[in-house]
Amino acid sequence: MRIGGYRVQTVLTSTFRLDGGAMFGSVPRVLWEKERAADEKNRIELATRSLYIEEAERPASNRPASLPPAAARPRRILVDAGNGDKFDAKGVEMFRVEARPIASWGVPVEELTDVFLTHLHFDHAGGMVRRDPGGALALNFPHAAVHLQKANWENARAPWDREKASYMKENIEPLAAAKLNLLDGEREILPGIRAGVANGHTRGLQWLLVGEGRGSIAYPADLIPTASHLHLPWIMGYDRCAETTFEEKRAFLRRAVEERWVVVFEHDPRIAAATVKVDDRGRFVLDEVVDL
């Protein structure tokens, strides 16, 4: 899909499974299992779906003065990097991770200029780091600028006890050597690409908006991980504060409906993206599924 000066596509980097009860919090299984079938261990299938954004070639005279010299070539941007392939046998079995090799993603990862990380939980940042045959950890995209909220970087390096399992040191510590661009709140990161901030799931989660106004592409990450989470009360048990997530979701979805955003569902294994509407009962629901 083209929007503004960019070409945008989704990239499926892995599938995995998490506990259905944890994914839907206080929602009874008798309700959520109508939409998401669970296996014998109560796990539901999920995806890690990244976004690839490629900037169209642009004359030097039209290049914004705010961009550094390194940005002279078109930007090639990855949004989130999925689980990666560093799990040991126990982790693979626990989460049923099926990671796709980076070479099979179908995008020029060797030419990436930027990576936007919504946050540093393992299923979003694990693919930033690989383990070499000798066991050493190394960055997968060492030449790319890494854009991340400062609040999330600080949170990831000193997480509270309940989040420690999601902020894995093997994914966090190597990023100190990356070209980090730590952001402070909502702002335009690049021309036509804007970061919003949500704190209900974890402190300093950033969601992305590509384009301006009607028809923009929104990538809410774990604010709305699957299409099932369009229901406002369907909030993950993993979230730090359900009340905050509820209000952040409502504000996001009101804009999504009003401005006809294409919303990307990062963890939905079946529906990559869709527009959203309000039904006759006042609920946010899928409108048109979009091939992205």
pLDDT tens profile 129-155: 999 999 999 999 999 999 999 999 999
Q: What is the pLDDT of residues 166-207, one digit of tens each?
A: 999 999 999 999 999 999 999 999 999 999 999 999 999 999
Using a 10 angstrom Cβ sphere, with 0-12 exposed, 13-18 middle and 19 or more buried, the burial of residue 49 is: buried
Longest Cα pair distance anywhere in the chain, in angstroms?
60
Which residues on neighbouring strands pair with residue 146, listed in sequence order? 115, 180
Is it the case that residue 66 has pLDDT exceeding 80?
Answer: no
Count of C-beta atoms within a 10 Å radius of residue 177: 11
Q: What is the pLDDT of residue 136?
A: 95
pLDDT of residue 73: 77
All structural domains of the chain, each given as residue ranges with its CATH number in brackets, are 2-59+69-290 (3.60.15.10)
Q: State which H helix or E strand residue 53 sits in.
A: strand 43-55
Residue 4 near residue 71 (C-beta atoms within 8 A): no
CB atoms within 10 A of CB 281: 6
**58: pLDDT confidence band, cut at 50, 70 and 90?**
low
Distance, in Å, from the CA atom of 2 to the CA atom of 115, rounded to the nearest integer, reads 19
What pLDDT digit, counting tens, does each position of 76-89 carry? 999 999 999 999 99
The mean pLDDT value for 208-224 works out to 96
pLDDT at residue number 4: 84
Mean pLDDT confidence for 88-113:
95
The two three-digit tokens of residue 188, written as one number? 């335009």
Contact 239, 223 (CB under 8 A): no
Say what percent of the chain tops pLDDT 90: 92
d(CA 186, CA 149): 9
Report the share of the chain in percent with pLDDT over 70: 95
The mean pLDDT of the chain is 94
What are the tokens at 159? Answer: 């997480």
Distance CA 252, CA 258 (A): 10
CA dist., res. 272 & res. 276, Å (int): 13
Residues 14-21: what's their mean pLDDT?
97
> Which residues neighbour 66 within 8 Å (Cβ) at sequence distance 6 or greater?
191
Copy the structure tokens of residue 58: 């642009």
Place 288 in a pLDDT band, splitting at 50, 70 and 90.
very high
Q: How many CA atoms lie within 13 A of 182 on its CB side?
A: 12
Residue-level pLDDT at 56 = 85
pLDDT of residue 71: 53
